[in-house]
């Protein structure tokens, strides 16, 4: 009997590792190895455009990344944070209505949120370039009623932030919807039975319980938005370039892989710090 128990424990000890193995292998091959390669590249020395950079503990790449591209880093996080906030302000009510008031239209409404994803990301961005062009009906109408000046809106920070918000909005809506949809409506009824008004029920019941969705949605929007370069390229101008544009330029125009890799690492580092702070502040148990 004891021998059987020992064997069972031994198997039980190995089984989780066996189950973990495929995932760990995947992570090692497609995350840690590329990350290590990128890290080595960030410390490599570039001799010319024609040769592969050589690893040489070239910390000056990081100094260059920090010192020369402060404006682009700042804009990236500012635009990313602003787009995340706007997406939250738009996405939360949308998810709330779909979850609590959608009724038999719920699936259709959710489908409408996802439908834009059936179109290529670039096509959607380029569509906004057309919509925001000086000759578009949208801009002309806005100018006619005095909302916009003669300069229009394309090639401006609001256009870039608007594009980021639009493109990543579903990433905000869907996690919040999932979180809200799990809330038992009886809890809201109970709050009302206890003399809460609608706002109090929302503030004390619904919103706290939906925070895991808010947390997940915020990260899903902020991280790709801050690292994006397509919206800044097509909807912005030289004063709205983001760090993604710099990385693209360093990789493909300057051919400066080490600095591009260093920029990528600095960006990742800052994102990790911000996410850690955010997680500590929001402190949702399900996700932290």
Partner 1 sequence: MIHRRRYRPVAQRINRRQFIGRAGVFAGAVALGPSILAACGGDDDDDSSGGGGGSDSIAISSWLGYMSDQSLADFEAAIGITPNYDETINDNNEYFTKIRPNLSQGEGIGREGMVLTDWMASRLINQVDPPWVQQFDEAAFPNKSNMLAVLASPEFDPQRLYSAPWATGITGIAYNISTTGGEVRTVDDFLNVSGTKTVLTEMRDTVGLFMQATGADPANPSVASAEPAFDALQKALDDGQIDGANGQDYVADLGAGNLAAAFAWSGDVAQITLDNPDVRFAVPESGGMLWSDNFLIPIGTDKVTQATQWINFFYDPANAAVLTAEIQYISPVQGVAEALTAMGGDAAALVDNPLVVPTDEFLASVSIFGTLDETAEEEFDQRFSEILGTG
Contacts with partner 1 by CB under 8 A lie at 48-52, 68, 72, 120, 122-123, 125-126, 129-130, 133-136, 152, 154-155, 229-230, 233-234, 236-241, 245-246, 248-249, 251-255
Residue with tokens 């939360």: 92
What percent helix, strand, coil does the chain show, rounded to 5?
Answer: 75, 0, 20
Minimum CB separation from partner 1 for residue 281, in Å?
32
Closer CB to partner 1, 38 or 287, in the complex: 38
How far is Cα 213 from Cα 287, in angstroms, rounded to an integer? 9
Closer CB to partner 1, 165 or 245, in the complex: 245
Minimum CB separation from partner 1 for residue 147, in Å?
18
Token pair recorded at residue 103: 């009724």
SS3 238: coil
Minimum CB separation from partner 1 for residue 75, in Å?
9
Closer CB to partner 1, 215 or 229, in the complex: 229
Minimum CB separation from partner 1 for residue 49, in Å?
7
- DSSP 8-class letter at 253: T
Minimum CB separation from partner 1 for residue 269, in Å?
20
How far is Cα 82 from Cα 90, in angstroms, rounded to an integer? 12
Q: Do the beta carbons of residue 259 and residue 64 sit within 8 Å?
A: yes
Q: Do the beta carbons of residue 245 and residue 72 sit within 8 Å?
A: yes
Q: Which residues of 245-275 are buried (b: 16+ CB within 10 A; e: fewer)?
A: bbbbebbeeeebbbbbbbbbbbbeeebeebb
Closer CB to partner 1, 113 or 155, in the complex: 155
Q: Do the beta carbons of residue 192 and residue 266 sit within 8 Å?
A: no
Minimum CB separation from partner 1 for residue 64, in Å?
11
Closer CB to partner 1, 155 or 212, in the complex: 155
Closer CB to partner 1, 152 or 170, in the complex: 152
Minimum CB separation from partner 1 for residue 187, in Å?
45
Closer CB to partner 1, 124 or 192, in the complex: 124
How far is Cα 125 from Cα 128, in angstroms, rounded to an integer? 5
Residue with tokens 């259709």: 108
């Amino acid at each position: 009997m004891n021998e059987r128990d020992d064997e069972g424990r031994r198997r039980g000890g190995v089984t989780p590792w066996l189950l973990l193995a495929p995932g760990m292998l995947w992570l090692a091959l497609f995350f840690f190895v590329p990350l290590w390669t990128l890290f080595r590249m960030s410390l490599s020395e570039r001799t010319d455009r024609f040769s592969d950079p050589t690893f040489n503990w070239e910390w000056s790449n990081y100094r260059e990344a920090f010192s020369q591209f402060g404006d682009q880093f700042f804009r990236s996080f500012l635009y990313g944070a602003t787009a995340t906030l706007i997406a939250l302000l738009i996405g939360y009510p949308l998810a709330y209505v779909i979850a609590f008031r959608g009724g038999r239209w719920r699936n259709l409404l959710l489908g409408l949120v996802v439908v834009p994803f059936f179109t290529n990301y670039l096509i959607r961005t380029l569509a906004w370039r057309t919509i925001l062009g000086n000759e578009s009906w949208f801009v002309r109408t806005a100018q006619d009623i005095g909302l916009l000046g003669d300069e229009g809106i394309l090639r401006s920070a609001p256009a870039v932030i608007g594009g980021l918000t639009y493109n990543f909005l579903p990433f905000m809506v869907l996690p919040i919807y999932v979180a809200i949809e799990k809330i038992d409506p009886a809890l809201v009824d109970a709050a009302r039975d206890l003399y809460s008004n609608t706002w109090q029920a929302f503030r004390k019941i619904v919103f706290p319980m939906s925070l895991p969705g808010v947390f997940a949605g915020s990260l899903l929007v902020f991280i790709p938005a801050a690292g994006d370069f397509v919206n800044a390229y097509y909807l912005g101008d030289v004063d709205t370039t983001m760090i993604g544009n710099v990385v693209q330029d360093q990789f493909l125009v300057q051919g400066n892989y080490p600095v591009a890799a260093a920029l990528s690492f600095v960006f990742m580092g800052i994102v990790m710090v911000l996410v850690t702070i955010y997680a500590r502040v929001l402190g949702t148990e399900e996700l932290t």
